[in-house]
Every structure is written in C-alpha cells, then in structure tokens.
Structure 1
Amino acid sequence: MSRILAIGFALLVGFCPMAEAVEQHVVVITIDGLPASYLNDIHASLPVIRGLAKSGVAAVDGMHVSNPSVTWPNHTTLMTGVHPEKHGVIFNGGLERIPATNMVRVNPKKTQAELVRVPLLFDIIKEAGLSSAAINWPCTRESKSIDDNFPDVPENVRNSSPRLVKELTESGVLRHFEDGGSIVRDEVWTDAACHVIRHRMPRLLALHLLNLDSTHHRYGPNSAPGYTAAALCDAMVGRVVKAIDEAGVRDRTTIFLVADHGFAAIHKSLNPNAILRREGLIQVENGKVTSARAFVVPEGGTGLVYLTNPETATQDAQTVRRLFEGAEGIVSVLGPDEFARYHMPTPATHKDMANLILVAKDGYTVGGATAGDEFVVVNKSGTTGSHGFLSTEPKMNAIFVASGSGIKSGVALKAIDNSDVAPTAARLLGVPLKQATGRILTEILAEGN
C-alpha cells in the first residue's frame, strides 16, 4: 500500500504546475549613442527607461565600453563577454587591403564568421536548445543560430530570416523601410521586435535602435534634437515593454537597457591623411588615392594608422610620430605595446589591427580626408558629435539599466564593464558563458539566480 501511495504522489508532483521549469526570457535593447549622463539629465525625457531603472538597477556612472568605442565592436562585446582583443571586431565591418594601392578600407558586407572570433551568446544558447532573435544587431549576418534575424548590415532585408521577412511584408511593416530614414527604420525594427515577442517570444531577443546616434552625430549630444531623438527611443522601448506584457511573460522576462557608447560634442576635425599626403606618404591623382605607405582609418575620437610598406614601416612610424605627437588636437600616439591596456589586439595577434593609434583631444574628431593642407579644420556647421574616443573618457560611458525577473531593486551600482552584460544574461538563461572575461553581476541578481 505504501508503495502505491508513493508512486501516486510522484505522479501527482510530476503533473503539478509548480514542478514545471519556468522559462526565463532576456531582452537586450541597445540605444546607439545614449550616454550614461542622460539617465539623470533633467533635459532628457526618458519616463520608460527611468521607470525600468526605478523598479530595477541602474549604474550611476554608467558602463565602461570597449575600444574602439564604436558600434560593432561594442555590440559584439555585449554578446560575447569579451573585448576586441579576443572577439576580433575593431570596425563597423571588416578591414580590406587593396594591393594595387596599399590602401585599406572597411567593408560592412561581412558575415559573422568573417568578423567574430568567438561564439556569440546566440550561438551558446542555441547549443542549449534555446531560441533567439536579433533585430538590427551587428555582426550577425548569415548566423546559423538566430531563429529570427534582421541583421545590421547593408541590404538588411535581403540578409534577414525568410520567415520574418514574409511575415513583416504581409503585415505591411516593411513598406517604407528601404526609402525611409533613420527614424522610420527604428520604427520598423521596433515593430519587428514586437512582432516576434507577441508571436513566438524567444528566450533571448536583442534589439538595436540607431536614430539617436545619427542625430547626435549631426547636432551633438545634449542638443534639442538629441533630447528629442532620445525621447522617441524611450517611447519605442515602451512599445517593446508593452509587447512583453501582451505576450504574458513580463514576470519571466529580464530587460537590459544599454548603449554601445556615449558621445562628445565636436568643434574641430583633424585631417591626418591630408598631412600624410603633403609629406609624400600618400599619393593622390584626380582626387583618388593611388598609393599609400601610411594611411589613417578614422574611428571618431581615434585614428587607426596603417603602415603598409614593410620596407619603410619603421621610418614611416617615426614620421607619423614626428608629425602628430604634440600637434593640436592630439593627446597621444599609441604604439602596439600600449594596446593591451585598452583591451585591443596588436598587429601580431590580429592581421587587421593598426600599427599606431592617434588619440584625439576632447572636442576634436579624426577625419579621413586627403585634400587640403590644414590639419585642423573648424566645423563650419557648428557643434556636431562623435564617439570613438578611448573608453577612459567618461563621456564614452554608456547607459546601463537592468529590470524585471531575477533583478533586485535598489542596488547601489556605480559603474560596470560592458563585458559583464553577456555573462549576466547567460546566468539568467541558465547557460554558462565560459569564454567571458567579464563578470556575472551577482550583486544585482535576486536569490536563486
């Protein structure tokens, strides 16, 4: 009799809802170019984001970002838990060398396999049998792990998941995507994310909004257009939260609201390639570069210097230092022995890494123009904006907010590193991220996570 009762009890527990594993969901939203400072800026209207922070956790000093502090390297850190020295992404694309001219250029039409040296979190959870979606997320082209993919690449729609394209086309969401500007595209990406959430809520969804970055580049941070663009992004975050509610999974969903980098106001531009042309290291005919022994790829607050002729590289490095060390607008010229300090690869560990790095001062940005003889050019259009400065510059700190399932409320958090996001998300999903150099933010996690 006791054996029969024991079997009956075991069967009862097996069918009891309390015994079922709860499916945890994680949503990561990046607002491109949203500085940490906006969270407490009285001029910034961010009711949804501040609501998430109030019910969860926000880093007071924001999130330290990866170098270069540009979009694709930092989105890759957010989904790998490692910096560019390990994941290998150092541009918004992949570097290409042109043998005929010794020129270098960045090509954004690259696949995940060509760009990223380690698995993305999408890949890690796929192996564990969990679903994912990535909307406008960089370095995901031709991903074999993402169930609904709308990658951040040229020809976005052509490279997106056929099922998702079909559904968004039938619903009319994609009608104005190709011809619309950055605001329309953010609207479409938000609609796409909400569609996926409502119809087949994945275990991990990543959404990247881009219009604020475009606006800050044109008008600068802390500008009226910048604040307006930030408010629009906040409203889009509200739509995603509403979709999570409508999907009935709010109590099982963690939301990370982050950015890839901050922003700095710019008043002057630096044209190192024009000076290299003047010094004979770059040859130009009819406005086109015909050869280059040294060439600078601009990354905003930094410029990556490529010395393309091995026979003259030592001499050319000395010339670059002579020309730019101590020049107006330049903080320093970094050599490979200093790259590790900023978690960047060296030419010895990454074939596409630069030989030197020009570091601009606050208020200056590095341009790529080869025309003219002036190194410093004042912005005729007034204040603009840029990023790409070293991550030690506080203005590059990105916003960090975590809220929802598994997150404590009211934890005092000063600053974190953006490599901490992926391992923390992985912990919430119950999947270890062994490759991560970032840490799990255990201090913000509720008991049992």
Structure 2
Amino acid sequence: MERVTDHLIVISFDCLSSLDFHMLKELPNFKNLLSRSAFCKNVETIYPSVTYPCHTTIVTGNFPNTHGIVNNTLLQPGVLSPDWYWHRKFITGTTLYDEARKAGLITAALLWPVTAKAKIKYNMPEIFANRLWHHQIAVSLWNGSPLYQLEMNRKHGHIRNGLSQPELDDFVVESTVSTIISKKPNLLLVHLTDLDTQRHYHGFSSEEAKAALYRHDQRLGKIIGAIKKAGLEDRATIVALGDHSALDESKAIHPNVLLKEMGLLKVNNKGKVIDWKAYCKSCDGSAYIYIKNQKDKETKEMVVNLFEKLLKETKNGIEQVFTNAHAKEKGADELAFLMIEARQGFYFKECHDTSYIRSITKEDVEERRYTYCSHGYSPAKEKYTTVFIAKGKGIRPDTEIASMHLVDEGPTFATLLGVNLGETDGRSVEEIII
C-alpha cells in the first residue's frame, strides 16, 4: 500500500464530547484546525466506553471482544487497587504502531494506553506504580524507552507534579513538541487526560472542565507550532479526536453488597474478598457480572433472579441487563455472564462494605472515593458521541462526515500510513482521503 502521509500525529483529548463542538469552533487553535479539515462531530464510541478499550480500538479498528482489552482494569477480586491493562501483551492481534514499525516507520507514543513494553521507538507508556514497593520512575523506564524518557524528563520534568492535572498534560505536550522537532516520527500517538480528570471530579459542564478545554486549545496550538518549526507542515497529517463522552451522576450502585448478602461473595474480618462465586466488575456506567464456575447453575439462576428483580424499579439504578450473547453482539466481554447498564445519574462501584445505593457527597469526591461524572455507558445513550478532526497531507478539505464509529479510525489511519491492519471490525473512511 502506498503511503498517503509522511507524518501522522494523533492527539487524543480524553473525554472530548460532541457537546463540546460548539466551543471548539470558537477556540482559536481548534478553529484553525477545523478550517479546511475533514471532521465528524458524531462519532459513536464502543461498549464499555472506558479509556483503555477505547484507545485500543483506535489503534486496532476492533471492538473490545476482538482486541481483548475489555475494561480499564483486570478482574482481580480481593485486590484493593487492581492492575490496569497497561501492557501491549494483553492486546490480541496487531496494532497501528506494530504495522508502522514493520514498514520501517519511526513510531512514538506519549501516555497512550496499553503500550507498556510495546515495540515503539520513542515510548513513554501510561503506567503507574500500583504497589507499595514500586517506584514511578523505575516503572515508567522499565516499561517504555528509557533513554527517551530520561531525555524528556531532563528537559521538561520540572513541569510535572506527580500525576496531577493540569501539570501532567503540560509536561506531555512539551515532550510532544520536543519529540516532533527532534525525532520527526512518522506516527505519533499522544494521550491528554486533563479534561477527563476535571469532568470526573467537578462535573461535565463545570467551570473546571471549560478551563481544561481552553488549556487543550493552547496545547493544540503548541503542537501545531512544533509541526511548522520542524518543517513538516506540508508533509504531516494532524488528527484531534475524543474517545468517549461522559454523563453526570449523583448516586453510586454497589451490586457486590447484594452478592455478599446472598453468600456469593465472601470477605474476611478485614473486609477483603477471599472467595467468590459471582462478582460485579465495574466499568463505571456499566458493569460486568462474572461467574467463577461456569457450570454453577445455581449461582447463575440466583444472579439472573437478582438483576431481573432490580430492573423492575427505577430507584435501583439499573436500566438494562444484557446476556453474555448480547454483550458479545455489542463488542463487550463475552466471558462475562451478564452486563448491566446504569440509568443516567447512576454509576457502578465494586464496593461491598456500604449500602447498595449511595448518594455521592462533596466529601466523597474530595477524597477521590467517588466522582461527579462518569463514562463507560452504552453508546446508545443520548448525546453521548465524540468527535474526529483531521487536517493536512492526504486529507480532503472541507469534508464533513455525518457519522462514523470509533472502530473506523484505526483502518483510516492505516490507509494514511500505507500499512495494513488486516481484517478489522471497522472500515477506512475513504471519503476524507484524497
């Protein structure tokens, strides 16, 4: 396949929603990007619509049950802080950066999910120290490109304040600028989470979220400036996209409380899960219900009866219950026995030591136990789409696509880079390519 562009720069603004589009049109750098661009302000996300499955879909063109990243975190009942799907090894099949490397292209990624230990030349993976004996710097260096990360930290590490926002994104953007100018990668993947963080802890339409959008506009301007400074303006394609939207919530649902009361979840005197027959694994706006023993018909019957009963009353917060076959059709984990969808205003937590429903307080959010806003919901929720904007070499200007799907982005990127992702769940959006 012939390459359409020499340099593809993909910037993911985590939690960027179609509802933000009216504001993007007025912000100077997004307005500049939209001018003579190809764009879609109605991109359907995946199920569950959480960050790690979404970003893996973007680089594979596949649904979660095809690429294997079915949630942000692993199923680890009893572990206080479950590990995330940080590592490339969890992905089934190939990725955009794998195929780019095979084609001899220079690849780079900054905090792109599920890239730990990936074969990316300049790799700063999104991974954090998740055990008391881990150290953040060592964990990052071990799982990415050590010399590259040391270089970026030497140049820009003073900007960062641990994992706090907005300093983290400011550090990532300065590192992105340096990478574009000094490395000139053919594929660059950048993940920014400032907006997502502000929405979680302040609400979807909060002043903090609006401020994050202004900061993102400034960050976009710096990246565009770096492309020009590197002399790549006529040879590069820049893409700005979102992975999912989000919805405000005021109540948390704790299905494991009921599973514990039914004897399907056992805890010790310290409150730690020591055994389970059924377990609710949260995806925030949705959740998986797993059965430990697939031959345990009694437990399955108890679980079905429980959720059918809960579904009958709106106060229980559950909008839909899907069988594993239905979850598979939607692209979610077919190994789950059931998948449950929260009503708007509710989301799921894995706690088992509180009430079934908890109204979220200011103190809960300040102490980071709960949030004011979540994603993970079904793509069928109203006003829940995200956006896609592409401009530069190989892109047909002034082209609006009425609708597209997140799975279409990977195949489209593959076309631009002249590589092949093989058979995918999505399609290349040829309408935007010259």
State the TM-score, normalizing by the size of structure 2: 0.88
Give the equivalent residue in structure 1 for 2:274.
Answer: 290
Q: What does the per-residue CA deviation read over 1:240-274, in whole Å, with 9 as the maximum and x for residues that have no partner?
A: 11100100101111111111110111122112112
| Number of the residue aligned with 1:63 | 43
The residue number in structure 1 matching 2:328 is 340
Deviation of 1:236 after TM superposition, in Å, equals 0.8
The aligned residue for residue 87 of structure 2 is: 111
Report the AA paired with residue 108 of structure 2. Answer: A
Determine helix, strand or coil for the equivalent of 2:189.
strand
What per-residue deviation string (whole Å, max 9, x for no partner) do you get for residues 184-240 of structure 1?
111111111111100021111000001111110011111111111111112111111
Does the 8 A contact of 1:45 with 1:230 survive in 2?
A: no
Residue 107 of structure 1 deviates from its aligned partner by 1.5
What is the identity percentage for the equivalent residue pairs of Structure 1 and Structure 2? 27
Count the aligned residue pairs: 410
Deviation at 1:315, TM superposition (A): 2.8
Q: Counterparts of 1:50 and 1:368 in 2: how far apart (Å)?
A: 41
Cα drift, residue 23 of structure 1: 5.9
2:12 alignment counterpart: 30
Please say if 1:271 is aligned against 2:254.
yes
Aligned to 1:90: 70
2:4–2:393 CA contact under 8 A, matched in 1? no
1:175 alignment counterpart: 158
Q: Is contact 1:65–1:418 with CA below 8 Å preserved after alignment?
A: yes
Q: Distance in 1 between matches of 2:382 and 2:307?
A: 26
- Structure 1 residue runs without a partner (length 5+): 1-20, 348-353
CA displacement, residues 111-161 of structure 1 (integer Å, 9 cap, x when unaligned) = 211x100111000111111111010001111112x1100011114632331
Name the amino acid aligned to 2:112: W
Partner of 2:132: none
Residue 151 of structure 1 pairs with residue 135 of structure 2 = no
Taking only aligned residues, the RMSD between alpha carbons, in angstroms, comes to 2.3
Partner of 1:8: none
Selected match of 1:137 from 112, 135, 146: 112
Measure how far apart 1:164 and its partner are. Answer: 0.9
Aligned partner of residue 107 in structure 1, secondary structure = coil
Partner of residue 245, structure 1: 228
Alpha-carbon distance between aligned partners in 2 of 1:192 and 1:200, rounded to the nearest angstrom:
11
Which one of the candidate residues 58, 65, 74 is aligned to 2:54?
74
Partners of 2:398 and 2:86 in 1: CA distance: 42
Partner Cα separation in structure 2 for residue 57 and residue 109 of structure 1: 32
Looking at structure 2, the residues matched to 238 and 438 of structure 1 have their Cα atoms a distance apart, in angstroms, of 30
The equivalences for 1:307-318 within 5 A come to 307-309=291-293, 310-311=295-296, 312-318=298-304
Cα distance change, pair 307–324 in 1 and its aligned pair in 2 (3 A): farther
Gaps of 5+ in 2: 129-135, 366-370
Q: Which residue of 1 aligns with 2:346?
A: 364
**CA gap 1:109/1:81 in 2 versus in 1, 3 angstroms:** closer
Could you tell me how far 1:39 is from its partner in structure 2?
0.9
CA displacement at 1:357 relative to structure 2? 1.0
Q: Following the alignment from structure 1 to structure 2, what is the Cα–Cα distance between the partners of residues 365 and 220?
A: 14
SS at match of 1:304: strand
- Distance across 2 between alignment mates of 1:234 and 1:445: 25
> How far 1:275 sits from its partner (Å)?
2.0
Q: Secondary structure at the match of 2:424?
A: coil
3-state secondary structure, aligned to 1:280 = coil
In structure 1, the residue corresponding to 2:354 is in which secondary structure? coil
Question: Would you say 1:195 and 2:165 are equivalent positions?
Answer: no
Match among 239, 246, 254 for residue 256 of structure 1: 239
CA contact (8 A) 1:31 1:258 kept: yes
Contact in 2 for aligned 1:336/1:356 (Cα 8 Å): yes
